Amino acid sequence: MSTIVVEGVEVDTRHWINGERVASATTFTDVSPIDETPLGEIAAGGPAEVDAAVRAARAAFPAWAALPVAERSAVLRRVADGIDARAEDLARVETRDNGSLLRSHRRGVMPRVGMNFRYFADWAESLRHDDREIRGHRERITYDPAGVVAVITPWNAPLMLATWRIGPALAAGDTVVVKPPEWAPLTASLLADIAHEAGLPPGVLNVVQGTGAEAGAALTRHPDINRLSFTGSVPTAGVIAAAAAPNIVPLSFELGGKSPLLVFADGDLDLAVGLAVEQFDNAGQVCLGAFRLLVQEGIAEEFLARVIDRASALVQGDPRDEATDVSALVSRAHFERVRGFVDRAVAAGAKPLLGGGPNAALGGLYFAPTILAGAEPGSEILTEEVFGPVLTFQTFATEAEGIAMANSTRFGLAATLVTGDPGRAERVSARLNAGTVWVNCFFVRDLGAPFGGNGRSGIGREGGDYSFDFYCDIKNSVFSPGGWTVSHGEAELGAVSYREAERRAVSHGEAEQRTTETDGTDA
């Protein structure tokens, strides 16, 4: 069958290539983490489907890139309107597909999906640099569409994180081939329908489903892609980088995290406890989560008691129930991975203060909210990303010690800091190794601000101009003030290179003072 019905919503299980539905000879089974029941058989793409999608995107690129920005943006706003109109359908399908809370999809995730299109459509229309002047010459910096963009997305927030890349890429004038996650592919298929209904031309957005080993590998090594954006794990990023390297494809990687929640004794304890418990959101399957609780001595005992009390009251269960706080992990393979981290930590001496294993009352893929203490510094549980509802607890004495502990991993995606001292907030945030630092807050960011990680947390930044810096080829055009006129049998400056003009000036004893000439012209 080419369609399935999920939570009352019909979803096409075929690829979307060049404005048409395309089947594959092979399929894979999509399983709901809520109860581990199969949702349906999904078309599994490989090199042939990827090549067809890339060729379609390449063919569609000239017309889409040439479309005036205002017209492109108008199409993207219609896509946003279509997303908003179907937000409930998208929320129900994605909840069933990846197990995230329905209430979160309704209140925050799906509104953000529409915003990703609308925001970057608006931003593209205002994107410009002021002209520059150098020795009477005018320099104009412009953003040219780069070409075909490959987008490979994760399963923890598949539609929101896909559109965070698709939105600016399309607004920039690029065309896109997206490979959704095999553990949660369905809302990408619905997005294709919505974009088509909004008038997005054939080939501008293509969706190829499949596994990383087949569809993902074929896409990352394809010689006709111009940008590649990936969100996922560090090991997979290494494989992708190696595959893309021969084609010199620019990469944007948003990878893992092992972020700290750094709580000082002068901070608001109520706030700190609330932020700690918030880290169990989406069953801990959040790259930005602050899963390392680092608490200053003196308040540590009270903080820990209050966090355990609050976390014990969290409701774990079916994510379609509005009362549920913590749902299931996305797959059996991931469940076993998380359990392995905890089992190894406990075997090495860590003590579970809360949870520590599967939720015995629920069974299935439900892993109980867990807090571990007593892990050895430098141990796996403190340095590697678990990506589950597992927090670790440590204490520190001084500000310097707290900063050192916060920076003691190879990751640098985010950090959260709680303090009542403005001076400390400035000092500590400046020294934390993180792409984003939240001070007395969490998960607050304007879409125009840069987002990305340091170290093993990624490459590059996206958001606002930073997105267009990646999805565009940035051009500098230098215009001579005198055109191409000829005087005394010799071309004026602007008709010859700066190097040649300088040589002539020097030869006549007329070299200008060079206090402002280190502009890289000769590089």
Whole-angstrom CA distances from 51 to 140, 175, 208, 298, 424 are 36, 14, 10, 61, 54
Look up the CATH number of the domain holding residue 421. 3.40.309.10
Domain membership flag for residue 493: yes
Look up the CATH number of the domain holding residue 215. 3.40.605.10
Q: Is the dihedral of CA 425, 427, 433, 434 positive or negative?
A: positive
Distance CA 31, CA 29 (A): 6
CB 177 within 8 A of CB 149: yes
Tens-level pLDDT at each residue, the chain (523 residues): 699 999 999 999 999 999 999 999 999 999 999 999 999 999 999 999 999 999 999 999 999 999 999 999 999 999 999 999 999 999 999 999 999 999 999 999 999 999 999 999 999 999 988 999 999 999 999 999 999 999 999 999 999 999 999 999 999 999 999 999 999 999 999 999 999 999 999 999 999 999 999 999 999 999 999 999 999 999 999 999 999 999 999 999 999 999 999 999 999 999 999 999 999 999 999 999 999 999 999 999 999 999 999 999 999 999 999 999 999 999 999 999 999 999 999 999 999 999 999 999 999 999 999 999 999 999 999 999 999 999 999 999 999 999 999 999 999 999 999 999 999 999 999 999 999 999 999 999 999 999 999 999 999 999 999 999 999 999 999 999 876 554 443 333 333 333 333 343 344 333 333 333 333 333 3
Domain span at 492:
486-523
E-strand ranges in 266-355 read 292-296, 351-354
Q: Judge if 514 and 425 occupy the same domain.
A: no
Task: Report the SS3 class of residue 119.
Answer: helix
The 10 Å CB-count burial string (b at 16+, else e) for 64-101 is: bbebebeebbebbbbbbebbbebbebbbbbbbbbbbbb
Name the residue among 298, 310, 305 with its Cα closest to residue 402: 298
Q: Judge if 239 and 129 occupy the same domain.
A: yes
47, with CB counted inside 10 A (0-12, 13-18, 19+), is middle
Beta-bridged to residue 263, according to DSSP, are 295, 418
Task: Report the SS3 class of residue 207.
Answer: strand
Global confidence as pTM: 0.91
Domain membership flag for residue 454: no
H or E segment at 346?
helix 332-347
Active site annotation includes 441: no
Distance CA 78, CA 143 (A): 23
Total domains, the chain:
3
444 Cβ contact list (under 8 Å, min separation 6): 438
CB 181 within 8 A of CB 154: yes
Give the model's pLDDT for residue 482: 78
Q: Judge if 283 and 239 occupy the same domain.
A: no
Q: Judge if 174 and 298 occupy the same domain.
A: no
Give the model's pLDDT for residue 484: 55
Domain membership flag for residue 480: no
Give the model's pLDDT for residue 129: 87
Distance CA 99, CA 329 (A): 7
CB 76 within 8 A of CB 167: yes
Q: Judge if 214 and 289 occupy the same domain.
A: no
Distance CA 416, CA 439 (A): 6
Q: Judge if 196 and 86 occupy the same domain.
A: yes
Distance CA 362, CA 459 (A): 39
Whole-angstrom CA distances from 423 to 25, 293, 426, 433 are 62, 22, 5, 18
Domain membership flag for residue 453: no
Side chain identity at residue 174, one-letter code: D
323, with CB counted inside 10 A (0-12, 13-18, 19+), is exposed
Q: Is the dihedral of CA 154, 155, 156, 160 positive or negative?
A: positive
Q: Judge if 234 and 285 occupy the same domain.
A: no
Q: Judge if 130 and 156 occupy the same domain.
A: yes
One of 287, 462, 472, 502 is an active-site residue; which one?
Answer: 287
Give the model's pLDDT for residue 55: 98
Domain membership flag for residue 479: no
Domain membership flag for residue 478: no
Distance CA 457, CA 470 (A): 18
Token readout for 494 is: 């602007």
Domain membership flag for residue 101: yes
Q: Judge if 428 and 385 occupy the same domain.
A: yes
One of 49, 214, 254, 462 is an active-site residue; which one?
Answer: 254
Q: Judge if 21 and 133 occupy the same domain.
A: yes
Alpha helix segments (H runs only) across 86-230 = 87-98, 102-104, 110-126, 158-172, 186-197, 217-220
Q: Judge if 226 and 270 occupy the same domain.
A: no
Q: Judge if 276 and 210 occupy the same domain.
A: no
Active site annotation includes 287: yes
CB 250 within 8 A of CB 470: yes
Domain membership flag for residue 437: yes
Distance CA 464, CA 200 (A): 22
Q: How many CB atoms lie within 10 A of CB 313?
A: 9
